[in-house]
Amino acid sequence: MEYKAPVEAYAGVVREITIGKGKKSLKIGGENVLPFHFFDQGSNPNPPKFALEVLDMNPQDWPKHALEPLQDVISDPIRWAKKCQGFAVDAVSLYLMSTDPAVKDTPADKAAALAKEVGDAINVPLIVYGSGDEKKDVEVLSKVAEVCDGMNLLIGPVLKENYEAVGRAILDHGHTAITQSPLDINLLKELNVKVGKFFPSDRIVIDPLSSALGYGMEYSFSLIERVKQIGIITRDSMTMMPIIANLGGECWKTKQAKENKERGLLWEGITALSLLLAGANILVLRHPETLSLVKETMEVK
- Nearest CA to 84 among 250, 298, 284? 284
SS3 17: strand
**pLDDT, averaged across the chain:** 96
- Nearest CA to 129 among 113, 147, 120, 141? 141
Count CB-CB contacts under 10 A for residue 164: 16
Instruction: Specify the pLDDT at position 301.
Output: 44
SS3 193: helix
Are 53 and 288 a contacting pair, CB within 8 Å?
Answer: no
Instruction: Specify the pLDDT at position 300.
Output: 54
Helix (H) or strand (E) holding 139: helix 134-147
Write out pLDDT tens, residues 42-65.
999 999 999 999 999 999 899 999
CATH 3.20.20.20 fits 17-28+36-289, yes or no: yes
Question: Ramachandran region of residue 127, left (φ > 0), alpha (ψ -120 to 50) or beta?
Answer: beta
Q: Strand order of the sheet with strand 204-207?
A: 204-207, 176-180, 154-158, 126-129, 91-95, 49-55, 282-285, 244-246
pLDDT mean for each 10 residues of the chain (301 residues): 86 97 96 92 95 96 95 96 96 98 97 98 98 97 98 98 98 98 96 97 97 96 97 96 97 96 97 98 98 89 44
Where exactly are the structural domains of the chain? 17-28+36-289
Instruction: Specify the pLDDT at position 292.
Output: 96
